[in-house]
């Protein structure tokens, strides 16, 4: 069985087990998703979803973030952790949006990764979930689960993304990411994966080692 064939089987079983899996971050537009994804670095989506309602009510457009007082903004996102760096990234990013994109979030990977605080993971999350453009979003769950599945030997997220691109159908890049991330959260745990109840355990070369 080729890697591509195994990926198709993996996706089919995960889709049957979990049904449609959507982005766990709450948002209503691309700007809100951009802010939420930046906040989600080294923070749970659940925590981010507790922080963002007040933010989204107060800051409705990029220009609102761009002119925010840095110290006050830091306090507003403090509970998301690493608040100083995240505040700097969000405010710098939105200032760039105002200056170069008329306050709108760009729709290409090349433009997105040029924004302050935005890497390929964030860019692909925005493309896939806000614009419907397929993207492989590699977070800690994607790193761990794809390594265990033997689909990559790399630890660098960008290298893992490029490893997956040829074996995951392009139209499924976002869907595959969501399924694997969800599987990592509910079954393929970091410390003690629940292999006994895993619907893809026979497709996983690591099952006997975990």
Task: Report if residue 208 sits inside a domain.
Answer: no
- Residues 116 and 157 grouped into a single domain: no
pLDDT single digits (tens) 107-165: 999 999 999 999 999 999 999 999 999 999 999 999 999 999 999 999 999 999 999 99
Number of domains in the chain: 2
- What is the CATH number for 145? 1.10.1670.10
What is the residue range of 184's domain? 3-22+136-203
- Residues 116 and 151 grouped into a single domain: no
- Residues 61 and 124 grouped into a single domain: yes
- Residues 55 and 75 grouped into a single domain: yes
Task: Report if residue 161 sits inside a domain.
Answer: yes
- Residues 84 and 37 grouped into a single domain: yes
pLDDT single digits (tens) 16-55: 999 999 999 999 999 999 999 999 999 999 999 999 999 9
Task: Report if residue 125 sits inside a domain.
Answer: yes
Q: Give catalytic status of residue 121 as yes or no.
A: yes
- Among 64, 86, 121, 163, the one annotated catalytic: 121
- Among 63, 102, 139, 202, the one annotated catalytic: 139
Task: Report if residue 209 sits inside a domain.
Answer: no
- Residues 8 and 35 grouped into a single domain: no
pLDDT band for 208, please (50, 70, 90 cuts).
Answer: confident
- Residues 39 and 118 grouped into a single domain: yes
Which string of DSSP letters, residue by residue, matches the chain? Answer: --HHHHHHHHHHHHHHHH-S---SS--SSHHHHHHHHHHTTTS-HHHHHHHHHHHHHH--SHHHHHTS-HHHHHHHTGGGSSHHHHHHHHHHHHHHHHHHHTTPPPSSHHHHTTSTT--HHHHHHHHHHHS--------HHHHHHHHHTTS----SHHHHHHHHTTTS-GGGHHHHHHHHHHHHHHTS-SSS--GGG-TTGGG-TTTTT-
Task: Report if residue 92 sits inside a domain.
Answer: yes
- Residues 36 and 62 grouped into a single domain: yes
Q: Give catalytic status of residue 139 as yes or no.
A: yes
């Amino acid at each position: 069985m080729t890697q591509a064939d195994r990926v198709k089987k993996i996706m089919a079983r995960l889709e049957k087990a979990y049904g449609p899996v959507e982005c766990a971050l709450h948002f209503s537009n691309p700007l809100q998703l951009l802010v939420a994804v930046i906040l989600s670095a080294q923070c749970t989506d659940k925590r981010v979803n507790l922080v963002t309602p007040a933010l989204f009510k107060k800051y409705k457009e990029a220009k609102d973030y761009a002119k925010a007082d840095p110290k006050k903004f830091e306090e507003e996102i403090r509970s998301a952790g690493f608040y100083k760096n995240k505040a700097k990234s969000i405010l710098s990013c939105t200032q760039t949006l105002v200056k170069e994109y008329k306050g709108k979030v760009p729709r290409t990977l090349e433009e997105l990764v040029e924004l302050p605080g935005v890497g390929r993971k964030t860019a692909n999350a925005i493309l896939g979930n806000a614009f419907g453009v397929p993207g492989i979003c590699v977070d800690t769950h994607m790193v761990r689960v794809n390594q265990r599945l033997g689909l990559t030997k790399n630890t660098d997220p960008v290298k893992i993304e490029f490893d997956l691109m040829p074996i995951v159908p392009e139209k499924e890049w976002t869907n595959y990411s969501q399924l694997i991330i969800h599987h990592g959260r509910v079954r393929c745990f970091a410390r003690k994966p629940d292999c006994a109840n895993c619907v893809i355990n026979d497709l996983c070369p690591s099952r006997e080692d975990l």
